[in-house]
């Protein structure tokens, strides 16, 4: 990889710090529509079963509850301390699992199971074990060496015994939210969490044979300073997680209500935000982490880094994954599925999701079928996000297009980015430079057909790029 040192002028910053999708999918969720419902989902699953070698399955379970509100949160979650709500939720979830599993041919193996939220450990290890068992009784879990069961954990509500219990159930990857250890930042975002607490659970994962541990950090939070964030980065690097994600905070209170509780006057300036990001890149690189792309870093022997080197890295709603080419089955409120060339999403509010299941319906409320153009652009953006380059010749072959002709408009939009040194346009590929790799979404946006449409521009639905 090229040198990690990057120099941005204030002018560049202004021009590229604009709202854009994170491209965990293309097309992005705003393109989903109500015309795609239960019937369409049944059709696409049936068709996916009909492939000569049907894809394996990645299962995602959404647990929407959190005991305490973090003010930066943009996720779909419900704040409650009432554990009975978890039980009621699971009763519906098991109904959904039965309904959905029935659509898939029995020989399709599940290669990945991920729990996200909200806070998945709002559920007890015993409850999580019951969910895994229920899934095992409805899906055939792969016996392959790389089969993963992963979970996002809030270190404040989990201890070493819980980790041991999760390991016994079969969990082998964990991701911990940290954001920042700076007490002033923690107070401003309403999330107090000690270094000791976090280190204890990270160590417990190691002791219990977890294959990898990830730590999430966020830059751009209120009260955040380069000094404080530097200490956090040093502390995290010493914990030696296999992966680190450093997300940019997106302040969009008109979309994410919890963010209204956050004091916007304490947010760092654009220049400080960029300094924080540069700090993260330099510190993590110095500590031996490789930049994977889009906020993610990994140790060289971690499977993400190895997969990237092999060219088999993949990106989906769960972030980066080594499990390319699986159909994604989302379960639980607001969960998104990606089967064949379709996307579908469950209702984002609990009552609608429950009502559908109580009536014995598949709880899909919107989605879309991708057309050939969507499939092509999704392929392009996937390659850009995972390999840091657009493989022009390979795309021409795979999709039977003349790249220069097909993407004439996009290439015009890309020209200023090339002039600014974000991309290098070669004969058979377009490469993101070290500077450009930090602005992958700006590059991807040049190829996003839907950003041209007024609906996408009218209200900022996406967070800023930096």
Partner 1 sequence: MSDVAFPRHNPRVLADDGTELRFCSTCAFSQACLDEGMDKASLGDLHVLVEHVGPFRAGDHLFREGDPFEAIAAVRAGTVKTYVVDHDGHEHVHGFHLPGEVIGLDAIDGDRYPCNAVALDTVMLCRFSFPKISVLATRVPGLQKQLFRLLSRDIGRAALLAGDWSADQRMAAFLIGVSRRLAARGFSANRFQLTMPRTDIANYLRLAPETVSRVLRRFQEEGVLQVERRELELLDRQALEALATPVLRG
Contact call for residue 20 and partner 1 (CB under 8 A)? no
Number of residues that bind partner 1 (CB under 8 A): 15
Nearer to partner 1, 24 or 47 (CB): 47
Nearer to partner 1, 47 or 142 (CB): 47
Nearer to partner 1, 84 or 143 (CB): 143
At residue 79, what are phi and psi to the nearest 5 degrees?
-90, 120
Contact call for residue 50 and partner 1 (CB under 8 A)? yes
Q: Interface mask (CB under 8 A) for partner 1, residues 315-344, using x and -?
A: -------------------------x----
Q: Which of 7, 53, 143, 458 binds partner 1 (CB under 8 A)?
A: 53
Q: Which stretch binds partner 1 (CB under 8 A): 49-57, 73-81, 418-426, 435-443?
A: 49-57
Closest CA to 150 of 166, 136, 139: 166
Contact call for residue 206 and partner 1 (CB under 8 A)? no
Contact call for residue 52 and partner 1 (CB under 8 A)? yes
Q: Which residues make Cβ contacts (< 8 Å) with residue 336, sequence separation at least 6?
A: 25, 29, 60, 317, 328, 330, 343, 344, 345, 346
For residue 247, the number of C-alpha atoms closer than 13 Å in the C-beta half-sphere is 18
CB of 42 to partner 1, least distance (A): 13
CB of 160 to partner 1, least distance (A): 41
For residue 312, the number of C-alpha atoms closer than 13 Å in the C-beta half-sphere is 9
Q: Which of 31, 49, 58, 112 binds partner 1 (CB under 8 A)?
A: 49
Between CA 10 and CA 12 the distance in angstroms is: 6
Contact call for residue 142 and partner 1 (CB under 8 A)? no
Contact call for residue 107 and partner 1 (CB under 8 A)? yes
Determine the 3-state secondary structure of 338 from DSSP. Answer: strand
Chain positions 356 to 385 lying near partner 1, rule: CB under 8 A, are 372
Determine the 3-state secondary structure of 385 from DSSP. Answer: helix
SS3 content of the chain, % helix, strand, coil (to 5): 45, 20, 35
Contact call for residue 400 and partner 1 (CB under 8 A)? yes
- 260 contacts 69 by C-beta, under 8 angstroms: no
CB of 437 to partner 1, least distance (A): 28
Please report where in the chains the tokens 């060339």 appear, as a residue. 341
- 119 contacts 78 by C-beta, under 8 angstroms: no
CA gyration radius, the chain: 21
Q: In this structure, what token pair is assigned to residue 414?
A: 């890309």
Determine if the peptide bond prior to 42 is cis (ω within 30°).
no
Nearer to partner 1, 82 or 105 (CB): 105
Q: Which residues bind partner 1 (CB under 8 A)?
A: 46-47, 49-54, 105, 107, 340, 372, 398-400
């Amino acid at each position: 990889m090229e040198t990690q040192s990057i120099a941005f002028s204030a002018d560049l910053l202004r021009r590229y710090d604009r709202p854009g999708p994170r491209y965990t999918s293309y097309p992005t969720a705003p393109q989903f529509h109500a015309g795609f419902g239960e019937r369409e989902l049944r059709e696409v699953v049936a068709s996916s079963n009909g492939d000569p070698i049907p894809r394996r399955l990645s299962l995602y379970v959404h647990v929407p509850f959190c005991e305490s509100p973090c003010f930066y949160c943009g996720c779909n979650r419900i704040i409650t301390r009432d554990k009975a709500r978890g039980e009621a939720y699971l009763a519906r979830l098991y109904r959904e699992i039965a309904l959905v599993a029935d659509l898939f041919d029995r020989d399709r193996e599940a290669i990945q199971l991920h729990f996200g939220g909200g806070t998945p450990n709002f559920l007890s290890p015993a409850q999580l074990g019951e969910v895994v068992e229920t899934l095992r009784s409805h899906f055939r879990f792969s016996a392959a060496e790389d089969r993963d069961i992963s979970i996002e954990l809030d270190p404040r509500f989990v201890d070493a015994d819980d980790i041991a219990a999760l390991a016994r159930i079969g969990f082998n990857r964990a991701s911990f939210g940290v954001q920042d250890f700076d007490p002033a930042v923690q107070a401003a975002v309403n999330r107090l969490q000690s270094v000791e607490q976090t280190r204890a659970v990270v160590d417990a994962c190691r002791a219990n044979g977890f294959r990898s541990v990830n730590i999430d950090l966020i830059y751009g939070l209120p009260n955040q300073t380069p000094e404080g964030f530097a200490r956090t980065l040093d502390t995290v690097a010493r914990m030696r997680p296999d992966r680190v994600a450093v997300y940019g905070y997106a302040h969009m209170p008109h979309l994410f209500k919890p963010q209204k509780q956050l004091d916007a006057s304490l947010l760092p300036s654009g220049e400080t935000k960029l300094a924080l990001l540069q700090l993260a890149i330099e510190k993590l690189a110095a500590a031996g982490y490789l930049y994977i792309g889009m906020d993610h870093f990994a140790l060289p022997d971690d499977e993400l880094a190895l997969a990237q080197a092999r060219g088999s890295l993949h990106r989906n709603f769960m972030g980066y994954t080594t499990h390319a080419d699986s159909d994604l089955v989302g379960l639980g409120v607001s969960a998104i599925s990606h089967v064949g060339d379709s996307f579908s999403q469950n209702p984002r509010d609990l009552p609608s999701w429950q009502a559908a299941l109580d009536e014995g319906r598949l709880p899909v409320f919107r989605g879309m079928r991708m057309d050939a153009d969507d499939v092509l652009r999704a392929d392009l953006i996937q390659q850009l996000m995972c390999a840091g380059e657009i493989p022009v010749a390979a795309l021409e072959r795979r999709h039977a297009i003349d790249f220069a002709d097909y993407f004439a408009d996009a290439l015009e939009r890309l020209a200023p980015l090339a002039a600014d040194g974000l991309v290098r346009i070669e004969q058979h590929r377009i490469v993101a430079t070290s500077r450009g790799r930090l602005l992958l979404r700006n590059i991807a946006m040049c190829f996003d057909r839907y950003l041209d449409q007024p609906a996408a521009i009218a209200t900022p639905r996406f967070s800023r790029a930096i």
